[in-house]
Amino acid sequence: MSLVLFFGVLAILLVLTVPICVSFAFATLLPSLFNSDFPYTADAAIRSMVSGLNNFPLLAIPLFIIAGVIMAKGKISERLFNVFSYFIGNKTAGLPCAVTITCLFYGAISGSGPATTAAVGSMCIPLLTSVGYDLTFATALVAVSGGLGIIIPPSIPYIMYCNAAGTSISELFLAGFLPGVLIALCLMVYSYIYCRIHGEDKAKLNAQWKELRSRGFGTVLKEGFWALLSPVIILGGIYGGICSPTEAATISIFYSLIISVFVYRTIKIRDLPKILLEGVHSYAPILIILSAAVAFARVITLMNVASIVSEVVLSAISSKVVILLLINVLLLFVGMIMDTGPAILVFTPVLLPVVKALGVDPIHFGIIMCVNLAIGFVTPPMGANLFVASNLSKVSVIDIAKKAVPFILAFLVALLMITFIPEISLFLVK
């Protein structure tokens, strides 16, 4: 069976919005339907789907999802925001920058872009508009900054990439720190430029800041201390060699439960079944897609897709810069039309041999891929963060997308730096 027909059918199914797991399963069976001698039948595919989920590192995904739900219900984002706005709330673009920093820290707890957008946006969008910021700007800011949730470790897409690429989760988590900070800085620079051009309501801002300062630093820090400690415990355990990423995800659940139930008292014991059910609803679709993607990846291997694509690309283009730019364009487009998880599972085995041949470190490429797909969170038609933010503010998705364009350009500047300056990703790893 030709690769053009194989991927053409898959593309048609995705364009027709056939569920991704169904698209993967159908594409998996295509070669055996066209060629009875193809060594991968429906029985083998089912066995691969079941056995592919018997993977200890993948257990970290549902655990981090549940921890993120607990943190969201526990109003952790509000306490983080208060700590940061206490210091910079009276500066130009202080509150927008505090929103971005809050997303950065909250992403180190939830590992999810939409979860970060929902948790931070539900509190920050009303606050920003109450002190005079434009509603659409505030919504776009939260939607784009929410993308940091999958860049800063721990990150669910990082776990999925490592499972597909066979790389170290701990190393990729470590590599994500500096790129996450760089992207946050680029977003804050644009926020500052926007506020300088459009102005701010200094009277309302100062009143809000003085009210927060009147509570005293000790009170604000006491309220935010346990929230600030969350990423330290989770990531410190991993890098200190105390626990694996999956074990750290388990710790994060118990830690978030303890501070939400007994310290902040924002969650009642009777709320736990509902929280667990919400976590199951979030993970079940991912589980089905993962199982189908395992069988799909096996077919790609048997069809020798990676080697063929690598040979074609490298024979046609000799410039490393051009190839990396083309890969970025491809991944940006993929992020617009496909969810992050399936995109990683489909394109990692295809593109990784190409970049390896160019001398690109697999850890570095993992960061490049995830940053590209994070931009997809705020680009139509998929744009999960856009829909989450739109639901919070009631601003149309198109209006948010238009206002997000300068933020996306700032994101792209960071992406180019991450792509062509490998040390940004690999410095801490090395």
pLDDT tens per residue across span 264-283 = 888 888 988 988 888 888 77
Q: How many CB atoms lie within 10 A of CB 313?
A: 18
pLDDT at 113: 81
Q: Give the predicted TM-score (pTM) of the model.
A: 0.85
Return the axis-axis angle of helices 135-145 and 397-420, rounded to nearest 10°.
40
What 3-state class would DSSP assign to 112? coil
Q: Which of 226, 274, 282, 222 is nearest to 68 (CA)?
A: 282
d(CA 412, CA 265) in angstroms, rounded, equals 40
The 10s digit of each residue's pLDDT in 71-88 is 878 878 788 888 999 999
What 3-state class would DSSP assign to 18? coil
For the chain, report the end-to-end CA distance as a whole number of angstroms: 43
CA angle 377, 325, 171 (to 5 degrees): 65
Quote the tokens at residue 172: 């990729």
List of the chain residues with pLDDT < 70: 1
pLDDT at 21: 81
d(CA 9, CA 375) in angstroms, rounded, equals 26
Q: Which of 71, 69, 68, 92 is nearest to 80 (CA)?
A: 71
